Chains A and B, each alone.
Chain A
Amino acid sequence: MTTAPRLAVVAGLLGGLALFAGSPYLADQGRVNLNGLAADIARGEDRIEAIALAGWIRDQRPNLSVIDLRSPEDYAAFHIPTAVVQPLESTLGARFAASDTIVIYGDGSAAASQAWVLLKARTRAAVFYLRGGVGAWLDEVMAPTIASDAPAAERAAFARISELSRYFGGAPHVIHPGDPKPLSRASDEMSRAETLAKVARMMRRGC
């Protein structure tokens, strides 16, 4: 037997055995690639900004799931469009395909970033947490601001953000000298009470 037929037999054997080998994904084997998780965190590939998520939702990114990890009451008060409310325990038990993209969010970043680690250990899908949570969405998508004397590059970027904001019913506005200072912006450490206060303010203003 020459080399080519031998290699064909080896390929056939390895291909046939693959039928019974089970999933090649580490998550399905109950294993965790800690170096991979650390690399994702170091590169900032564990999180997504609110504006980028808004773009994904508007453009109907294929296989995108947005999951609200907060309570059903908080979800009912306000949630990001297309999001479903699902506690972390159920999310960890759900089965996702490798082609899925999952974005999880909470009030700030702390709980969602912890959930990101757990979810990455359980699924082979692409997973991100929303940096700043609901508060970031309210600030950056529903009420983006820019100073009237901002440089041209910033104004051009703001024009694109404003278009996205209006798509979601937001109210972008320009801050002129002498205007009252804007309310505090969302932070990674935002609490539930702060988020609910932000939601209430937005509801009063109307969206």
Chain B
Amino acid sequence: MIAPLVDAGVFSDSASLLLALAIGVAFGWALERAGLGNARKLMGQFTLTDLTVFKVMFSAIVTAMLGSFWLARLGWLDLSRVYVPDTFIVPQILGGLIFGAGFVAGGLCPGTSCVAAATGRLDGVAVIAGMLAGVTGAGWLLPRVPALFDATPRGVLTLPDALHISYGAAVFFVVVVALTGFRAATAIERSRR
């Protein structure tokens, strides 16, 4: 049997949603355990005094990447069926800047704001409210400005295709960047204390 298991009929749609909920709760638990439900800890990212966010997120990226690569290489996962959203360079840069401004202003990102709200922090509730307002506003606005919404489309773009390297080389490249980044982050934290 080859994953995604939902294709093989192992899970019904409702069971998939329940599984997604369980994974989401586990993700939230991991974020809280890493201390990322606290906006003060997240702000350490921008003052270079606490780079936990970088380490946690890059650890998750490397784990998921190595897991999906090797599961696929062993024939247990059909990588071509893993959804990759299309790339639109200009609107995604614009969205990234707005996201970053909200992150700095609120001290929380979407995932960590949910964790903060679940543990009773009011700033988490405020960030979730702002996020939902932003999502609603963008959903209303973007279809009215298709010139921006559909600008600079690049289709499904992955690192191996964009860099014209093999998938394995891209995996190796990201692992090297992550390990180098972890070492640099630890050195920066030590120098700032």
The interface of chain A, by Cβ under 8 A from chain B, is 4, 8, 11-12, 14-16, 18-27, 29, 31, 33, 35-36, 38-39, 59, 61-63, 97-99, 101, 124-126
Contact of A8 with B80 in the complex, beta carbons under 8 Å: no
Residue from B62, B80, B157 in contact with A25 in the complex, judged by beta carbons closer than 8 Å:
B80
As a 0/1 sequence over residues 74 to 113 of chain B, the CB contacts with chain A under 8 angstroms (1 = contact) are 0100111100000000000000000000000000000000
Within 8 A of A (CB), among B1-29: 1-2, 4, 6-9
Main secondary structure of the interface of B (DSSP, over half): helix
Residue from A11, A22, A101, A126 in contact with B175 in the complex, judged by beta carbons closer than 8 Å:
A11
Residues in A neighbouring B81, C-beta threshold 8 A: 33, 36
Q: Interface centre among A25, A26, A63, by most B CB within 10 Å?
A: A26
Q: Interface centre among A14, A15, A38, A125, by most B CB within 10 Å?
A: A15
Take A23-B166, A26-B2, A35-B1 as given contacts and tell me if A15 and B80 are in contact as well, using a CB distance cutoff of 8 Å. no
Contact of B155 with A14 in the complex, beta carbons under 8 Å: no
Residue from A8, A25, A63 in contact with B155 in the complex, judged by beta carbons closer than 8 Å:
A63
As a 0/1 sequence over residues 156 to 193 of chain B, the CB contacts with chain A under 8 angstroms (1 = contact) are 11101100001111011011101100100000000000
Residue of B nearest to A64 (CB): B155
Q: List 22 A-B contacts (CB under 8 A).
A: A8-B179, A8-B182, A11-B179, A15-B172, A16-B175, A18-B69, A18-B73, A18-B171, A19-B172, A23-B167, A24-B68, A24-B73, A25-B72, A25-B79, A26-B72, A26-B79, A26-B80, A62-B154, A99-B156, A99-B161, A124-B79, A124-B80
Residue of A nearest to B63 (CB): A11
Contact of A98 with B155 in the complex, beta carbons under 8 Å: no
Take A15-B66, A99-B161 as given contacts and tell me if A20 and B155 are in contact as well, using a CB distance cutoff of 8 Å. no
Known pairs A11-B175, A25-B167, A98-B156; list 7 more (Cβ under 8 Å): A11-B62, A16-B172, A24-B70, A26-B79, A38-B7, A63-B156, A98-B80
